[in-house]
């Protein structure tokens, strides 16, 4: 029994090590490393609680006695302390997000400024509680387009007391642009619920996915969804003149591409005359240069996915298409405000590429370009409540409110 406890302790140590030092380079290993690091890192308190319970049971059975049992217990304790430190280092994110939000605060923000500092402890204990909130009305599966018999749908979240002419948040889900890896149902929920509580109307969209469909189908669908929002969101209390787009991973790529290509004919076949401008963009851990021009991508998985499933051609075979589909190709002074989010432990998308994209956009854009490097965050860290993700969520919410406030004078002239 003592040796069994020791083996369990080694597994705990390995999980903790992976949180701190994820795998970046092995095509298959990075997937397991991401999944294990993502869940163990953001659900650290729950992981520790389960392990403590297991050790307690082993102790009742006499498994802590002897050399191996004692060594296993010491390893468990070291693992728990390290994982706890990692989790509570999420407090650093509050300082980071404050540094982004505070310079733009005016006197009108002062009364609500404390809201940013509030993290609901009960949410940390129930990390998936946002998926059902009695304050929020969820309108499911509204059809916004039909393509060859396929219905493309969107979900709308709004406060039950939502005012008219409310700002709009458009959420584009990630999942490697591929069927079975993600959908509008489970991504971006904490941020959408937060913004709905603040009086925003939030719209989560779907789009055609690989391998049944290839680019540029996904971005065309996102543009069509945006056109539907502009034409119909007033029926749900939203303001079609103020829309911010967000999304993570593949959704980070698509949201950035959408924001930087308003009215681009190549992405609007048959509806070239429709307006597809947005008023802001918040991409999470996105992909910004599909050609990987500066060799900043650390994971080989991206190139494999693009070649085999998403574009179905190599970079050499379709260089112009890869370039057209890269947000970095479209940086310009007309870009809307950007707030980019990326974790420094992300093993699926490149922090360096995101930083480079932000710097290139910042050089030319007339609007604000802000970058939040989230210490300790894996890919998809924001999908449910944790100390780290909640501080990021609240900081973004404050910044979106500021964008909306700053746009009001121009809208009223």
Residues 6+ apart with CB under 8 A from 339: 100, 280, 281, 282, 368, 370, 372, 396, 399
Nearest of 4, 109, 88 to residue 44 by alpha carbon: 88
| 327 contacts: CB under 8 Å, gap ≥ 6 | 253, 256, 257, 260, 286, 288, 289, 357
Contact 351, 372 (CB under 8 A): no
Question: What is the C-alpha to C-alpha distance for residues 360 and 355, in angstroms, rounded to an integer?
Answer: 9
Separation between Cα atoms, residue 223 and residue 225, nearest integer Å: 5
The DSSP call for residue 343 is E
Task: Find the radius of gyration of the CA atoms of the chain.
Answer: 22
Coil, strand, or helix at residue 137?
strand
Beta partners for residue 172, in sequence order: 205, 247
Give the pLDDT confidence score for residue 261 in this predicted structure: 98
The confidence score (pLDDT) of residue 409 equals 61
Q: Which structure tokens are listed for 266?
A: 């190549």
Phi, psi of 41, rounded to the nearest 5 degrees: -75, -45
pLDDT of residue 413: 42
Distance between CA atoms of residues 289 and 287, nearest Å: 6
Contact 6, 69 (CB under 8 A): yes
Q: Looking at residue 160, what is its pLDDT?
A: 83
What is the spatial distance between Cα 405 and Cα 409, in angstroms, rounded to a whole number? 8
- Annotated catalytic residues are 249, 346, 379
Token pair recorded at residue 45: 């308190």
Q: What does the pLDDT profile of the chain (413 residues) look like in tens digits?
A: 778 888 999 999 999 999 999 988 776 788 889 999 999 999 999 999 999 999 998 888 887 888 888 898 999 999 999 999 999 999 999 999 999 998 888 765 554 545 545 677 777 888 888 777 888 999 999 999 999 889 999 999 999 877 789 999 999 999 999 998 999 999 999 999 999 999 999 999 999 999 999 999 999 999 999 999 999 999 999 999 999 999 999 999 999 999 999 999 999 999 999 999 999 999 999 999 999 999 998 877 788 889 888 999 999 999 999 999 999 999 999 999 999 999 999 999 999 999 999 999 999 999 999 999 999 999 999 999 999 999 999 999 999 999 999 987 644 44
pTM value > 0.75: yes
Helix axes 66-88, 29-42, angle to 10 degrees: 80
> Residue 263, exposed/middle/buried by CB under 10 A (0-12, 13-18, 19+)?
middle
Alpha helical stretches, state H, 65-203: 66-88, 91-101, 121-125, 189-197
- DSSP string of 227-282? HHHHHHGGGGTEEEEEEEEEEETHHHHHHHHHHH-TT-GGG-TT-TTS----SEEE
pLDDT of residue 240: 97
- Per-residue pLDDT, 117: 53
CATH topology of domain 93-412: Rossmann fold (3.40.50)
Say how many C-beta atoms besides its own lie within 10 A of residue 131's C-beta: 13
Predicted pLDDT of residue 109: 58
Q: Please report the pLDDT score of residue 412 as a whole number.
A: 47
Cβ atoms 295, 343 nearer than 8 A: no
Q: Where are the chain's structural domains? A: 2-88, 93-412
């Amino acid at each position: 029994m003592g040796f069994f406890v020791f083996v369990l302790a080694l597994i705990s140590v390995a999980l903790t090590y992976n949180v701190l030092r994820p795998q970046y380079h092995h095509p298959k290993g990075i997937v397991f490393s991401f999944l294990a690091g993502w869940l163990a890192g953001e659900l650290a308190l729950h992981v520790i609680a389960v392990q403590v319970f297991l050790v307690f049971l082993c102790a009742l059975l006499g498994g802590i006695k002897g050399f191996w049992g004692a060594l296993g217990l010491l390893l468990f304790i070291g693992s728990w302390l390290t994982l706890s430190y990692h989790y509570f280092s999420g407090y650093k994110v509050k300082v980071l997000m404050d540094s982004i939000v505070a310079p733009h605060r005016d006197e009108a923000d002062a009364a609500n400024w404390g809201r940013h500092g509030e993290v609901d402890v009960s949410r940390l204990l129930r990390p998936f509680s946002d998926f059902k909130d009695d304050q929020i009305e969820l309108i499911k599966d509204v059809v916004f387009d039909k393509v060859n018999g396929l219905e493309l749908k969107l979900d709308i979240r709004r406060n039950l007391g939502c005012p008219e002419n409310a700002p709009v948040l458009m959420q584009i889900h990630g999942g490697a642009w591929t069927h079975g890896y993600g959908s509008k149902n489970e991504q971006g929920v904490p941020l959408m619920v937060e913004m709905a509580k603040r009086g925003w109307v939030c719209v989560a969209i779907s789009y055609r996915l690989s391998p049944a469909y290839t680019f540029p189908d996904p971005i065309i669908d996102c543009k069509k969804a945006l056109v539907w929002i502009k034409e119909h969101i007033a029926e749900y209390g939203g303001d079609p003149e103020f829309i911010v787009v967000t999304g993570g991973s593949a959704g980070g790529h698509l949201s950035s591409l959408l924001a930087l290509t308003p009215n681009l004919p190549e992405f609007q076949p048959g509806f070239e005359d429709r307006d597809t401008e947005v008023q802001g963009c918040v991409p999470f851990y996105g992909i910004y240069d599909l050609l990987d021009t500066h060799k900043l991508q650390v994971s080989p998985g991206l190139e494999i996915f693009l070649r085999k499933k998403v574009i179905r051609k190599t970079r050499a075979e379709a260089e112009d298409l890869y370039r057209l589909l890269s947000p970095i190709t479209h940086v310009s002074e007309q870009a809307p405000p950007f707030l980019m989010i990326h974790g420094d432990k992300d093993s699926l998308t490149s922090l360096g590429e995101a930083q480079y994209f932000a710097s290139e956009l910042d050089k030319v854009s007339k609007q604000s370009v802000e970058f939040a490097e989230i210490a300790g965050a894996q890919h998809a860290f924001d999908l449910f409540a944790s100390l780290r993700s909640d501080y990021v969520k609240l900081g973004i919410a404050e910044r979106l409110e500021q964008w909306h406030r700053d746009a009001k004078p121009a809208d009223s002239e």
